Amino acid sequence: MKLNALMDNFGARANVKRVGRGIGSGNGKTAGRGNKGQKARAGSRKQATFQGGQMPILRRFPKFGFNNPHAKEYTTINLGEIEKFIASGKINPKETITIDTLLAAKIVNRKLSGLKVLAKGEIKSPVNIVADKWSKSAEAAITKAGGTIKNK
């Protein structure tokens, strides 16, 4: 066997269809594209999503997600963190704890839309908290420890 004698099996390669080579070829004149119109032109094809000039459904609908521009984002703090900062002396349990006292003690960085108290951890000190929102279990834990929680 010689390299110059190698060849494909019969039918493995089809000849290229040569269009536009005269009427006698069977694919002359319009080259099998019919008469005029977008499909007859070079380099122009409608996409599968084309909907006759109306805005396609894929462009009308949002692709993912939605961000509510009016949503409120709260600065959150857990009861366990409050107890930890009371123990370290950053918070005075006798004073009312507000978002401003937490900012002054550098426990939180920013106010956002307000303060939300969550019940992760446990609190032993009786504290008075002024917050915008809180969980029911956080309220129960604070009242059980002898403290109060109220809205601004």
56-69 per-position pLDDT tens digit: 888 898 888 888 99
Instruction: Give me the number of domains the chain comprises.
Output: 2
* pLDDT at residue 75, rounded to an integer: 94
71-95: average pLDDT: 92
Spatial distance between the Cα atoms of 115 and 109, rounded to a whole number of angstroms: 12
* pLDDT at residue 47, rounded to an integer: 81
Q: Is residue 6 in some structural domain?
A: no
72-99: average pLDDT: 92
Q: Which one-letter amino acid corresponds to residue 61?
A: F
Asked if residue 118 has pLDDT above 90, the reply is yes
Q: Is residue 65 in some structural domain?
A: no
Q: Is residue 60 in some structural domain?
A: no
Asked if residue 148 has pLDDT above 90, the reply is yes
Q: Is residue 120 in some structural domain?
A: yes
Q: Is residue 91 in some structural domain?
A: yes
Q: Is residue 64 in some structural domain?
A: no
For the entire predicted model, the pTM comes to 0.57
Looking at the structure, tell me whether residues 40 and 79 fall in a common domain: no
In the chain the beta strands, taken as DSSP E runs, fall at 75-78, 96-97, 115-118, 128-131, 133-134, 148-151
Tokens of 121: 């951890």
Query: Residue 39 is part of which domain span?
Result: 17-44
Looking at the structure, tell me whether residues 131 and 79 fall in a common domain: yes
Instruction: Supply the CATH number for residue 131's domain.
Output: 3.100.10.10
Q: Is residue 145 in some structural domain?
A: yes
Looking at the structure, tell me whether residues 27 and 91 fall in a common domain: no
**What percent of the chain is modeled with pLDDT above 70?**
100
Q: Is residue 32 in some structural domain?
A: yes
Percent helix, strand, coil in the chain (nearest 5)? 25, 15, 60
Looking at the structure, tell me whether residues 90 and 38 fall in a common domain: no
Looking at the structure, tell me whether residues 137 and 90 fall in a common domain: yes
